[in-house]
Chain A
Amino acid sequence: MSSSPGRATIRRATCTSTRNGKLVVKWDLENWQPMKGEASARVLQLIRELEDEGVL
């Protein structure tokens, strides 16, 4: 997800991003709101890119 180690899991209409074993954000893809944590502009950009690629 970024230059630092990070992972994202996709579950239905949410996307969970972690970095170094800690939650960054759990993002509601349907309503485009955070459910947990905070999303930086970079993380949101990556989520949008994954949506555009059809991964999400």
Chain B
Amino acid sequence: MKIRKVELNNRKGEFRVVTYSGDTYVFPYVKAEPQPDAANKVADAVVDRELAKEAFSYVLESGDEGIVHLDQVLEYNEDPSYLRDLLIYKLTLEAKQRVEESGLSRRELARRLRTSVPQLYRLLDTANDKKSLDQLISLLQVLDCNVDLRVTHKDHGA
């Protein structure tokens, strides 16, 4: 996901970030560092091409500069796709650790999972987010784990 444009709003105290997928997110000044305020407003904000358009830079009236990464924006807005990728990543970390602890060979694990060794490596690749939750759950169960899912209400402002 990349940023198409960023707009600043000193009156509301927020940035407005638009991605190439057409989604719009708000990111409040209070979450940025250095934090803009009424005495030191944002003078300019631009999409940072050097950072692969995955962040934007801003300049305060004082001359101080800051960078906000798209991950910060997505996390603040609780973007479902971002949270899903984070969950996949965390489960992959858990699976990797348990694979090491199990002492089983990759070949044996792939056999139990009824898949190929290359596919197993793709499952254990933390940088690969193109995998499904059920594949990871299957792997964890082969590793003798119980996977329980708990659904709760979000705790806002507590």
Contact = CB atoms under 8 A, between A and B. Distances in A.
Interface of A: 5, 7, 9, 11, 14, 16, 18, 21-23, 25, 28, 31, 33-38
B52 A23 contact: yes
Interface of B: 49-55, 67, 69, 71-72, 89, 93, 96, 126-127, 129
A14 B51 contact: no
A31 B93 contact: yes
Contacts of A33: 93, 96, 126
State the main secondary structure of chain A at its contact with B: strand
Given A9-B67, A21-B50, A35-B127, 14 more contacts: A9-B51, A9-B55, A11-B69, A11-B72, A16-B54, A18-B52, A18-B54, A21-B51, A21-B52, A23-B52, A23-B54, A28-B126, A33-B126, A35-B126
A28 B49 CA distance: 22
B71 A14 contact: yes
A20 B53 CA distance: 11
11 contacts: A9-B55, A16-B55, A18-B51, A18-B52, A21-B52, A23-B54, A33-B126, A34-B127, A35-B126, A36-B127, A37-B127
Contacts of B71: 11, 14
